[in-house]
């Protein structure tokens, strides 16, 4: 119980510090949103126009007062109005969030499942087919940016063969290929982690004892060594969960999927303070729950492993 309280207090402290840092960083981005708005609507960049918009958006108040107003409203569920769309930020994010969650969570869960079995198969026969395949995927995804793969897919399927119209009602295929690309870029690293854990377990005394008794290595690893492999996989996956919402930015932008990450890119370009602040702080809250869930799962695996 005491550990849970410390865990929650630690994250409350992290969220407070991050909220302050986020607020200040956003405020010091070069070129103010006021100038961006004036340019967008082809209005002259006069001091009078600047003062009018600055007052309208309450950016003429002190930074301290702006922060207090923002954090109070955010916690109440009022995330402000987007400078770009003129709609509530919360409404905009909730409308776009399903696209990012489908891509992010879909790719991550598929990656976790595939990584476990590919890592297991790679460990059974070292330097075999699956071992070489996972190593190749890991090296290639570290060497080639994901947007190159996205551009190739768009060119081949959308331009050369014209099998798919990605930008004219082609959201389904855009989402499908986005998931496939993200799975490819996650499974290489995760499967190697699982593979290394299984390889280490092969050197354990109890595993050698089972082999001497005539048990098959395939059975021994899957039946008696899966817990350490899952523990390593879940530990490595925690960091991947931080990219569920934001990590799909490249593929969302490439396939013009109206997700939350695509919206963030437009918001950064237009210096939309309210959207950027809400996005970063939302990620922090989301990661709190991710760590809470994985803390429970890892504790559960530890307890099962000690029995």
Structural domain for 263, as ranges? 92-301
Is the domain of 111 the same as that of 210? Answer: yes
Same structural domain for residues 202 and 294?
A: yes
Are residues 3 and 39 located together in one domain of the fold?
yes
Q: What are 96-106's pLDDT values in tens digits?
A: 888 888 888 88
Residue 306 is assigned to a structural domain of this protein: no
Number of domains in the chain: 2
Chunked mean pLDDT (size 10), the chain, 307 residues: 72 82 80 78 80 81 86 85 84 86 87 94 90 92 87 86 74 87 91 93 87 86 87 81 67 84 81 84 77 72 60
Are residues 292 and 227 located together in one domain of the fold? yes
- Same domain for 98 and 245, yes or no, is yes
Q: What angle do CA 275, 279, 284 make, to 5 degrees?
A: 155
End-to-end CA distance of the chain: 22
Instruction: Give pLDDT tens digits for 105-133.
Output: 888 899 999 999 999 999 998 888 999 99
Q: Is 255 a member of any domain?
A: yes
Which residues neighbour 59 within 8 Å (Cβ) at sequence distance 6 or greater? 32, 33, 34, 66
How many whole angstroms separate alpha carbon 107 and alpha carbon 22?
A: 28
59 and 119 fall within a common domain: no
CA distances, 156 to each of 159, 160, 161, 164 (Å): 6, 5, 6, 9
Flag whether 81 is in a domain.
no
The reply to whether 114 falls in a domain is: yes
Q: Are residues 116 and 60 in the same domain?
A: no
158 found inside a domain: yes
Give me the half-sphere count of Cα atoms (radius 13 Å) on the Cβ side of residue 262. Answer: 20
Q: For residues 298 and 153, give the distance between their C-alpha atoms in angstroms, rounded to a whole number.
A: 38
- Residue 82 falls inside a structural domain: no
């Amino acid at each position: 119980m005491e550990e849970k309280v410390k865990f929650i207090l630690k994250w409350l402290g992290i969220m407070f510090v991050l909220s302050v840092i986020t607020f200040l960083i956003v405020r010091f981005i070069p070129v103010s949103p006021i100038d961006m708005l004036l340019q967008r609507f082809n209005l002259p960049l006069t001091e009078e126009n600047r003062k009018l918009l600055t007052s309208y958006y309450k950016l003429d108040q002190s930074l301290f007062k702006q922060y207090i107003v923002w954090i109070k409203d955010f916690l109440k569920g009022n995330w402000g109005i987007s400078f770009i769309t003129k709609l509530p930020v919360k409404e905009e994010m909730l409308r776009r969030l399903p696209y990012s969650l489908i891509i992010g969570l879909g790719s991550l869960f598929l990656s976790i499942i595939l990584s476990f079995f590919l890592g297991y198969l790679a460990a059974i026969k070292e330097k075999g087919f699956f071992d070489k395949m996972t190593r190749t995927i890991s090296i290639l995804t570290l060497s080639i940016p994901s947007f190159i793969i996205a551009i190739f897919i768009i060119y081949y399927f959308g331009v050369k063969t014209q099998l798919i119209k990605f930008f004219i009602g082609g959201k389904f295929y855009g989402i499908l290929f986005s998931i496939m690309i993200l799975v490819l870029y996650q499974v290489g690293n995760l499967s190697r982690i699982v593979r290394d854990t299984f390889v280490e377990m092969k050197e354990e005394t109890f595993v050698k004892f089972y082999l001497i008794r005539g048990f098959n290595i395939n059975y021994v690893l899957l039946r008696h060594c899966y817990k350490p492999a899952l523990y390593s996989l879940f530990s490595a996956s925690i960091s991947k969960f931080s990219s569920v919402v934001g990590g799909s930015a490249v593929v969302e932008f490439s396939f013009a999927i109206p997700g939350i990450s695509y919206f963030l890119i437009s918001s950064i370009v237009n210096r939309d303070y309210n959207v950027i602040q809400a996005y970063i702080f939302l990620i922090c809250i989301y990661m709190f729950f991710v760590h809470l869930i994985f803390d429970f799962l890892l504790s559960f695996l530890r307890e099962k492993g000690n029995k």
